[in-house]
Amino acid sequence: MVSGDTMNKKTNNSQKKVAWVLILVFLIISTSVGGFFWIKYEIDKKNNNNNNNNQQEIEKEKAREVKRVKLIDEASLLVSGYFYQEAIDLLKSDADIYNDKMKSEVKKIEDFVAQLKPYTGRIEQVFFHSLIVYPELAFGATSSEPQGYNYWMTTELEFQRMLPLLMERGYVLVHITDLYDVDAQGNVTAKDLYLPQGKRPLLISVDNVGYPESRKKDGFASRLIIDEKNEISAVIRNLEGKEIVSRTAEVFPIVDDFVKEHPEFSYRGAKGMVGITGSWGVMGYDPKIAAEAAEAKKIANRMKEMGWVFVSHSYTHAGGIYFSENSTIAGIKEDTELFKKWIVPIIGDSNVFIAPFGVTLKGDLYQYFIDEGYTFYLNVDRRSQPKILGKSVLMPRINLDGFVMNRDKEYITQNFFDVDKVYDSRRPVFQ
């Protein structure tokens, strides 16, 4: 019995031990498994976060790349318009996207600029009058001066044909201020102009930008306006006598649109000079009527923003004591005072004088214009080059009109464009 009891006790003890071991084993296993799943859960969570972070980073980088491409495009447009430093500044403008690719774009421009040399060739200046839009009127039976128009005017078609040909020859519109510096004492010095190889500067001016009644009925524009796109358009009477707004009825919108399409045709936004003849009005507005003067001033200001420069083409545009071989100091003084009184308040001060009929005044008469602040005196001459004379520059200009295309065809073809590709066959026979 005793031994039986002992046996039983022993058996009980070993069963307890086994149970404990089992519990222990169970605990170990469950802790390990739990731990494993917990660790796995944590790792997965982290991976998920990482994935999300990576995804976000990829999206951000994509957005940066889009910005880079956009800036590089904008910079290359600036470069084609000769705005080199502006292009570099733009590429560097956003630190968040500035990477090696952007650095190499900047370097490309810097290298390009470093090899530019100052321009040393001829400086050409061409000029126009308001364009003949309807040759059937300008040269027709009711025209006030068909012969004069055939000599001294350019048709809209010819002007449109010239621009791409001038560009092909490497011409780039510049301003006088790109070519000369004038200091506070009025001393003039030639300035270095850095153009890419094969490019050459071209100054253009348009004379007598007023639209008298006779011109309006002869197929020319009637006035300039600021159109609904805040650009300068011309208003013209069409063949039915109805006024229409046109982008092609005058030099200004044609050049504006051409430069927009071909930024390489304009050095840093330069367009041309607008020669105002006071007694003809200002771009179709009467300077002596306050409301019209205010309108003309608004248009002039907008045109200045767009790269046009306003200059004096005299008040009277008359011969005799004003602008001829018989000019007198009293005559040119009277003219200049009238221009100052009526026109300067609209167009602002200018240091450029376009001489009526291209007359080159001499001695005291020439000096009078310098003393009046007109540093640049523009005459007409097809061969000579600008000359610094004391505190002034005498600048020759060439008229690209019917007269010159007939009388100096070879020279024009050699230096500007093939006249045969430009000449308007609707012109009457030249004689």
Interface residue list for Zn ion (CB under 5 A) = 207-208
Answer for the pair 362, 328: CB distance below 8 angstroms, yes or no: no
Q: 313 to each of 15, 317, 401, how far by Cα in Å?
A: 124, 7, 18
Q: Which is nearer to Zn ion, 68 or 397 (CB)?
A: 397
CB 199 → Zn ion: shortest distance, Å?
A: 30
CB 394 → Zn ion: shortest distance, Å?
A: 17
Angle formed at CA 350 by CA 383 and CA 337, multiple of 5 degrees:
105
CB 127 → Zn ion: shortest distance, Å?
A: 9
Answer for the pair 175, 205: CB distance below 8 angstroms, yes or no: no
Sheet holding 243-246, edge to edge: 221-226, 232-237, 243-246
Q: Which is nearer to Zn ion, 318 or 344 (CB)?
A: 318
Q: Which is nearer to Zn ion, 193 or 354 (CB)?
A: 354
Q: In sequence order, what are the beta bridge partners of 105? A: none
Q: Which is nearer to Zn ion, 353 or 366 (CB)?
A: 353
Q: Which is nearer to Zn ion, 194 or 357 (CB)?
A: 357
Q: Which is nearer to Zn ion, 133 or 355 (CB)?
A: 355
β-pair type (243-246, 194-195): unpaired
Q: In sequence order, what are the beta bridge partners of 182? A: 188
Q: Which is nearer to Zn ion, 68 or 216 (CB)?
A: 216
H or E segment to which residue 158 belongs: helix 156-168
H or E segment to which residue 171 belongs: strand 171-173
CB 356 → Zn ion: shortest distance, Å?
A: 5
CB 428 → Zn ion: shortest distance, Å?
A: 22
Alpha helices per DSSP H over 273-351? 290-305, 329-342, 344-347
Q: Which is nearer to Zn ion, 208 or 351 (CB)?
A: 208
Q: Is the dihedral of CA 235, 239, 241, 242 positive or negative?
A: negative
Residue that is written with structure tokens 């093939």 in the block: 418
CB 112 → Zn ion: shortest distance, Å?
A: 41
Query: How many Cα neighbours within 13 Å face the side chain of 199?
Result: 20
User: Cβ–Cβ contacts within 10 Å for residue 104, how many?
Assistant: 9
Q: Which is nearer to Zn ion, 263 or 356 (CB)?
A: 356
Q: Is the dihedral of CA 414, 416, 422, 423 positive or negative?
A: negative
Question: Which amino acid, residue 377?
Answer: Y
CB 380 → Zn ion: shortest distance, Å?
A: 10
Please give the residue whose beta carbon sits closest to Zn ion in the complex. Answer: 207
Sorted by sequence, the CB contacts under 8 Å of residue 420 that are 6+ apart come out as 413
Whole-angstrom Cα distance, residue 422 to residue 159? 8
CB 352 → Zn ion: shortest distance, Å?
A: 14
Q: Which is nearer to Zn ion, 130 or 208 (CB)?
A: 208
CB 133 → Zn ion: shortest distance, Å?
A: 19
CB 88 → Zn ion: shortest distance, Å?
A: 42
Whole-angstrom Cα distance, residue 55 to residue 74? 29
